[in-house]
Structure 1
Amino acid sequence: MKPSDFNKKAKFGMIKTVKNENTGSSKKEFVATCELWFAPKTRSLAMQYKLQGTDLESTREIIVRHNSSVDNSMVVQIGDDRYDVVNISSDDTNQTISYDYITLKKVGG
């Protein structure tokens, strides 16, 4: 992979209950813990056909530099869209540069 492939940014974090100091009310809100540059992974037509009718049909994959702080419990925000992490194919080899393939499923419509 080339460094120029990593040209989009994703925020990784959690949904937390945040209290409004002015009104005293609380609401659930996305709170980012880190931002990572990613490269979108395009699926082949054959892979898209294989995924039709499965739980993974409406997912997408992104590639990030290996980051051990990213886990399956996180929520990812890309632009205005929010995603749950479905799977992380983590490269924990001893290579200088390694990558993680992250499968995301869009939250909501």
Structure 2
Amino acid sequence: MKFRPSDFNKIVRLGTIKSVPNENNGNLKKTFVETITLHYAPKNRTMTQQYTLLGTKLEDTLMIVIRHNTNVQDKMLAQLPDKKYYDIVGISPDESNNVIRYDILTLKLNQKGVK
């Protein structure tokens, strides 16, 4: 994969869900706790790839490319600039011996209503 530094012009916030007490009534609420902030480049699929995914669990997913980072795990959530939360459903790490390596993250919109 060849990318220019200017391709990584968007920011993704990665983190987990924690239960914290509500300041008003003390009830627990789930909230996003950021762990890592990274720059990413969107990765587009070809039409053939999109047609291949129709009817599968990966149909409504999107892909982003980040610099290789071993701290990124599939149990994390991602928050993109659209302020929506996405589950990481797949990580494709670059296992080459290149100096600069890239990982592809497959994201699916989180339907659990994280605040």
Choose from 65, 85, 88 the match for 2:88: 85
Q: TM-score normalized by structure 2?
A: 0.88
Alpha-carbon distance between aligned partners in 2 of 1:8 and 1:74, rounded to the nearest angstrom: 18
Alpha-carbon distance between aligned partners in 2 of 1:46 and 1:12, rounded to the nearest angstrom: 30
> Which residue identity is paired with 1:84?
D
Please tell me whether residue 95 in structure 1 is matched to residue 101 in structure 2.
Answer: no
**Equivalent residue pairs, number:** 109
Would you say the 8 A contact 1:66–1:92 is kept in 2?
no
Any residues of structure 2 matched to 1:1-109 within 5 Å, and which?
1-21=3-23, 23-79=25-81, 80-108=83-111
**Coordinate RMSD, CA, aligned:** 1.5
> Which residue identity is paired with 1:95?
N
Unmatched segments (≥5 aa) in structure 1:
none
Helix, strand or coil at the partner of 1:68: coil
Deviation string for 1:79-102 (max 9, x for gaps)? 211100011001143422100000
Flag the structure with higher strand content. Answer: 1
Alpha-carbon distance between aligned partners in 2 of 1:77 and 1:24, rounded to the nearest angstrom: 26
Helix, strand or coil at the partner of 2:65: strand
Helix, strand or coil at the partner of 1:97: coil
Identity of aligned residues (%): 49
Alpha-carbon distance between aligned partners in 1 of 2:107 and 2:24, rounded to the nearest angstrom: 35
Helix, strand or coil at the partner of 2:98: coil
